[in-house]
Amino acid sequence: MRQVYMDYSATTPVKKEVLDAMIPYFTEHFGNPSSLYTYGLEAKDAITKARGQLAHLIGADPEEVYFTGSGSEADNWTLFGVTDKLKNKGNHIITTKIEHHAILHSCEFLQKHGVDVTYVGVNPDGTVKIDEIEKAITDKTVLISVMLINNEVGTIQPVKEIAELAHKHGILFHTDAVQALGNTPINVHEMGIDLMSMSAHKIYGPKGVGALYMKKGVNASNYLHGGAQESGHRASTENLAGIVGFGKAAELAEKNLESHIKNCSSLRNYLIEQIQKKIPDTIVNGTMEHRHPGNANITFEYIEGESILLMLDHEGISVSTGSACSSKSLKPSHVLTALGVPVEKIHGTIRFTVGDFTTKEDIDYVVETLAKIVGRLREISSVDEKKGW
């Protein structure tokens, strides 16, 4: 059976060049980077190189990049570390309703420990309401955190503008760039970003490696305590091979950025165009103007998303859904809810994300299969497509 992976925002395969770069660091150059003999120094050099590769991709100085165990850890570190560091200044954070759970659940935890959090809404097109951010600012606000690209609807947020707003009020600005890295140009200094979360497994690197960019002088409190790794900012013996892989993936992402964006967005646009041509009653969620190049988030009216996902999987196609029925929490997507998509339509929403190994033939296969599946499920559905909801 044909296999078509269309969930690149969930994770990506490790590229061969990346894997090749990693393997010697499992077997030959396996030293502990903290050791003072040759094995250790080799390992340390490899991490320094990777730090440089990642820093280069985002326009940072290498000393401003700290490797972590994941994007989630970078998000947690930011929220816990900044609120702790600045607890004498204030106890208020502003973020948005469409953040990843790594941000939202950390904020909920902080709320139980005396931190106030304002969750700002978004416009129906998925762009954050900047005026609401401005209104939410108080003299107790210590951090504004707004994701650069949303993981469900792919909308790119105007973080440069939001960073300026934050700085005007003397507030730090963090962005979760886990989905953005390698999918849109990033220059942390030009964009005025103080802290930024990243993850390797979304850019054809390994899982379980992330990074936090922290601008010189920001000095959020440590989150992991122990040894003096990462210049004393993050304890844990480094995930050596993982970090090497992240560095290589970052180097490739930088080299391929333009062509990656161009190819993915043209395939994605073709996917949307074909779906709209061949399948009636579909809705594209989120603006098409500033959007993740691979993301298509589409509602198929009158049917439920888990059913679509299962039938696609049966035909070898991997996608994800915003439907409550396929989430462990049984809650419909908080992102689509924030966009104002009615719940019954959220249930029928599928996220497709294309990436570097997607072909036009893959898309033709997906659209053809999808048209049959949607037609079949609409025959089964108790919602009459002629009468509508």
Partner 1 sequence: MALYNDTVMDHFMNPRNVGEIENPDGKGVYGSPVCGDMMQITIKVDEKTDVITDVKFKTFGCGSAIASSSMATEMIIGKTVDQALAVTNKQIVEELGGLPPVKLHCSVLADHAIKCAIYDYAQKHGKTYKGLEGFDPEADDDDEQAEGCSGPSCDKK
Ligand X SMILES: Cc1ncc(COP(=O)(O)O)c(C=O)c1O
Residue 186 or 303: the one with the smaller Cβ distance to partner 1 is 303
Which does residue 100 bind out of partner 1, ligand X, none, counting CB within 5 to 8 angstroms by kind? Answer: ligand X
Q: Which is nearer to partner 1, 189 or 314 (CB)?
A: 314
CA dist 205 → 183, 196, 259, 270, 284 (Å): 14, 18, 18, 27, 29
Query: Which parts of this chain interact with ligand X (CB under 6 A)?
Result: 70-72, 75, 100, 102, 147, 151, 176, 178-179, 199, 210
Query: Of 31 and 71, which has the nearer Cβ to ligand X?
Result: 71
Which whole-number Å values give the CA distances from 187 to 61, 159, 177, 181, 231, in the listed order?
Answer: 11, 11, 12, 11, 23
Separation between Cα atoms, residue 322 and residue 334, nearest integer Å: 9
Out of partner 1, ligand X, none, what residue 179 binds, judged by CB under 5 to 8 A for its kind, is ligand X
Among ligand X, partner 1, none, the one that 324 touches (CB under a kind-dependent 5 to 8 A) is partner 1
CA distance 378 to 372: 10
Q: CA distances (Å), 78 to each of 92, 100, 142, 218, 247, in order? A: 14, 14, 11, 11, 22
* Beta carbon nearer to partner 1, 139 or 379: 379
DSSP per-residue codes, 96-135: ETTS-HHHHHHHHHHHTTT-EEEEE-B-TTS-B-HHHHHH
Decide if 325 is catalytic.
yes
> Contact, 252 vs 18, CB < 8 A?
yes
From the list 23, 228, 310, 325, the catalytic residue is 325
Residues lying near partner 1 in the complex (CB under 8 A): 302-307, 310-311, 314, 323-326, 328, 330-332, 342-344, 347, 379-383, 389
Q: What is the closest distance, in whole angstroms, from the C-beta atom of residue 319 to partner 1 in the complex? A: 14
Cβ at position 383, least distance to partner 1 in Å: 5
Amino acid letter, residue 16:
K
CA distances from 138 to 120, 134, 170 (A): 14, 9, 11
173: its two tokens: 């600005």
Among partner 1, ligand X, none, residue 102 binds (CB under 5-8 Å by kind): ligand X
**Between 155 and 307, whose beta carbon lies closer to ligand X?**
155
Please say which residue, 102 or 367, places its beta carbon nearer to ligand X.
102
The closest of 179, 172, 178 to 193, measured between CA atoms, is 172
Nearest-angstrom CA–CA distance, 343 and 97 = 16
Q: Select the binding partner of residue 26 from partner 1, ligand X, none (C-beta < 5 to 8 A, by kind).
A: none
Binding-site partner at residue 70 among ligand X, partner 1, none, CB < 5 to 8 Å by type = ligand X
- Could you tell me whether strands 320-321 and 349-353 are parallel, antiparallel, or unpaired per DSSP bridges? antiparallel
- Between the two ends of the chain, the Cα-to-Cα distance in Å is 36
**Least distance CB 360 / partner 1 (angstroms):** 28
CB of 222 to ligand X, least distance (A): 19
The minimum distance between CB 367 and ligand X, in angstroms, equals: 25
Closest approach, Cβ 389 to ligand X, in A, equals 30
Binder of residue 314, out of partner 1, ligand X, none (CB less than 5 to 8 A by kind): partner 1
Long-range CB contacts (< 8 A, 24+ apart) of 108-112? 110/79, 110/80, 110/83
State which residue, 122 or 267, has the beta carbon closest to partner 1. Answer: 122
Provide the minimum distance between the beta carbon of 209 and ligand X in the complex, in angstroms, as a whole number: 8
Residues annotated as catalytic (active site), given as ranges: 325
